[in-house]
Amino acid sequence: MERGAPFSTFENFWSFYVSQHSKAGTRAFHFVGTTIGLVSLVSAIGSGRLVLPVWGLVLSYGLAWIGHFFVEKNRPATFQHPWWSFLGDMRMYGLMWRGKMSAEAERLMMLEPVAAVRTA
C-alpha cells in the first residue's frame, strides 16, 4: 500500500496500521505516550489547567515518533491519515491493555503482508 493511498474501510487501514507497528518497542512507545496523553487530559479536566493537554499531545506524539523513527524505522501513519491513525492508536491501546496486541499483530502479519512505508 502506497503512502497516502486511500483506504476504503477502517479494517483495511487497521491492517496497514498494524504493519507500521510490527515491533513491540514501537508499540511500547505508543502505549506510554497514549497513557501520558490521557492522564494529561484527565488532569486538565480535574485541575482546570488547560496547558496540560497541550503538553500531553507533545509528549504523546514525541514518544510515538521516537518509536517510529528509531525502532520501527518508518514514517508515522498519522502524517497521511491523522483521523484513522488516532482511531488505530485507540484500538491498539485497548488491545495492549488486554494483552492481545501481539497476537493481533501476528494474526494480521500472517493474513496479509502489507508493504511498510519506510523513511528515506
Give the residues of the chain that fall short of pLDDT 50.
1-4, 113-114, 116-120
Domain count, the chain: 1
Give the pLDDT confidence score for residue 98 in this predicted structure.
97
Integer Cα distance of 119 and 99 in angstroms: 29
The answer to the question of residue 89 being in a domain is yes
The answer to the question of residue 4 being in a domain is no
pTM: 0.83
The answer to the question of residue 48 being in a domain is yes
Give the pLDDT confidence score for residue 43 in this predicted structure.
94
Q: Phi, psi (5° rounding) for residue 101?
A: -75, -40
Question: Which of 71, 57, 77 is closest to 27 using CA atoms?
Answer: 71
* Cross-strand bridge partners of residue 74: 118
Q: What is the rounded end-to-end Cα distance, in angstroms, of the chain? A: 17
What are 64-78's pLDDT values in tens digits?
A: 999 999 999 999 988
